[in-house]
Amino acid sequence: MLNSLRTKLTLSMLITSLAAISVMALITPWLLEQRFVNEAREVHFKGFVRAIEEFRQDHQEWGGRQSALLINQYLSNRQAAPIRPALSDQRPTVSNSFRFVLTDHQGFVFLPFFEYELGQQLSAEQLQQANPLTLDGELVGYALGGGELPLTDQDKSYLLIQSRSMLIGAAAGLAVTLLLSLTMGSQLVKHLQALTRAAIEMSKGNLNQRVQVEGKDEVALLAREFNRMAQELNNTYAELKASNETIKAQAEAMQELSLRDELTGLHNRRYFNQQFRLMHHQAIRYQDALALALGDIDNFKQINDRFSHHIGDAVLKQVAVLMQKEIREADVLARYGGEEFVILMAHTDKRQAEGLIDRIRAKVEAWPWHQLASELHVTISFGISDKLDSDLGHSMLVEADNRLYQAKDLGRNRVCV
């Protein structure tokens, strides 16, 4: 596979170089030809302007159909039609197939070719496609070019030299590319081989592996990260062998599971009782406020009977989620049993607790229960107490329970304090 990687790297660099050279080989001749065409047109345009200038020196009138006929006759008499400027000492030259149609500044043709006639006035659209002829910044006429521009022997020789130069450059570029790809590819493959061997050794349990790769490229970065992870793994393995942290972590996880309700993921009644005794004792000792809320899902038995126990379980889990989103970090939320929930709120009196619990009640009522079952509607009732007596919290639980029954008797879906 590594040899294949080297081959792919070499081929990719060669293909990239070939593609770049091919594009240049296609574009350069076209650019040169455009240059020859532009130079030929400029030479001809200068000749046309000189002819018009000579005519204007001998004739006062310039512009219009009559003027076009006069300059045509004038040029014919001077053996200047078709107009061909002296190009023997200039490059590029043109053949008879490379023609121009000339008009005055008003668009009247005085040198016709192709389908154009002497004295014909070109439309505005046709003039937009023509090349303007100017004399000292003044518009004196238009030229419409047509036909193919042939290349002279000098032009062809110039293009041949260019092509040979490009071929020599391409060969040199390919040679350099091949040399670089082989050199860099060999170095890259060597580093990857070292990484592969180290990874295989680690998979066999030999964790003390290091890869020596210098530089700042991606392979060097990969090697450094590999060395770092290998060192961390080696350290972790050594620590695990020297201690009983794994056993301790497992024991703590099992302890946590024993304090969680399996269905809702909330803490269970056992955990609540532990926290309640501790927080109740601290509230009395430091004369701090403590509130307890008991909640019960309204008509839960009817939900089970009408919609199935599966829907009932889904309701319990969703209510648990809604309550968890509203309680504070310091609050204790637990499933007390069946459809009952209990919330313990430190540093909170019953009025403060009432605001929090009523938000929970409203959230439960407003949640789209039809997503679980059509015509399903769920509400919850709460009873709140902040009574602190030296009876391990028994009176607080009794009072909260009484307030919960009061909420039920008053029509459910309410909070009683």
Rounded distance between C-alpha atoms, residue 295 and residue 335, angstroms: 9
Which pairs with CB-CB distance under 8 Å and at least 24 residues apart come from 322-329?
322/360, 322/363, 322/364, 322/367, 323/295, 323/360, 324/266, 325/363, 326/356, 326/359, 326/360, 326/363, 327/356, 327/360, 328/356
Q: State the chain's mean pLDDT as an integer.
A: 81
CB neighbour class for 103 (10 Å; exposed up to 12, middle 13-18, buried from 19): buried
Range of weakest confidence among 34-48, 62-76, 85-99, 238-252: 85-99
- The pLDDT value given to residue 92: 39
Q: Where are the beta strands (DSSP E) in 23-108?
A: 99-104
pLDDT band at 331 (very low <50, low <70, confident <90, very high): very high
pLDDT of 278 strictly over 70: yes
- Helix, strand or coil, per DSSP, at residue 342: strand
pLDDT band at 361 (very low <50, low <70, confident <90, very high): very high
C-alpha R_g of the chain: 48
DSSP H helices in 64-114: 65-77
pLDDT band at 246 (very low <50, low <70, confident <90, very high): low
Q: What is the mean pLDDT of residues 10-21?
A: 68
Q: What is the mean pLDDT of residues 191-219?
A: 72
Decide the pairing of beta strands 332-337 and 415-416. Answer: unpaired
- The pLDDT value given to residue 233: 75
pLDDT of 318 strictly over 50: yes
State which of 86-90, 129-133, 175-179, 227-231 shows the largest mean pLDDT: 129-133
Q: What is the mean pLDDT of residues 143-172?
A: 68
Q: What is the mean pLDDT of residues 150-157?
A: 64
Q: What is the mean pLDDT of residues 380-393?
A: 93
- The pLDDT value given to residue 281: 94
Contacts of 113 (CB under 8 A, 6+ apart): 82, 99, 100, 101, 146
Q: Where are the beta strands (DSSP E) in 284-325?
A: 290-297
The pair phi, psi for residue 366, each rounded to 5°, is: -85, -10
- The pLDDT value given to residue 86: 38
Stretch (H or E) spanning 43: helix 2-58
The domain made up of 2-153 has a fold known as Beta-Lactamase (3.30.450)
Contacts of 170 (CB under 8 A, 6+ apart): 17, 21, 25
Rounded distance between C-alpha atoms, residue 262 and residue 260, angstroms: 6
Q: What is the mean pLDDT of residues 196-201?
A: 76
Contacts of 258 (CB under 8 A, 6+ apart): 270
Better-scored residue on pLDDT, 294 or 28? 294
- The pLDDT value given to residue 262: 93
Could you read off the pLDDT of 179-194 as tens digits, one per residue? Answer: 766 676 666 666 677 7
Contacts of 141 (CB under 8 A, 6+ apart): 48, 49, 52, 102, 103, 104, 105, 132, 133
pLDDT of 367 strictly over 50: yes
pLDDT of 218 strictly over 50: yes
CATH number of 261-416: 3.30.70.270
Rounded distance between C-alpha atoms, residue 315 and residue 338, angstroms: 12
Residues of each domain in the chain carrying CATH 3.30.70.270: 261-416
- The pLDDT value given to residue 67: 86
Range of weakest confidence among 9-18, 81-90, 156-165, 305-314: 81-90
Q: What is the mean pLDDT of residues 187-204?
A: 72
- The pLDDT value given to residue 29: 63
pLDDT band at 297 (very low <50, low <70, confident <90, very high): very high
* Catalytic residue list: 339
- The pLDDT value given to residue 87: 36
Q: Work out the percent of the chain whose per-residue pLDDT is above 90.
A: 38
Q: What is the mean pLDDT of residues 320-329?
A: 95
pLDDT of 33 strictly over 90: no
pLDDT of 301 strictly over 80: yes
Secondary structure, 3-state, 174-240: HHHHHHHHHHHHHHHHHHHHHHHHHHHHHHCCCCCCCCCCCCCCHHHHHHHHHHHHHHHHHHHHHHH
Stretch (H or E) spanning 133: strand 131-135
DSSP H helices in 79-204: 124-128, 153-203
Residues of each domain in the chain carrying CATH 3.30.450: 2-153
Q: Kindly report the number of other CB atoms within 10 A of residue 48's CB atom.
A: 20
- The pLDDT value given to residue 22: 66
Could you read off the pLDDT of 68-103 as tens digits, one per residue? Answer: 888 888 888 765 444 444 333 333 334 445 678 889
Q: Work out the percent of the chain whose per-residue pLDDT is above 70.
A: 72
pLDDT of 221 strictly over 80: no
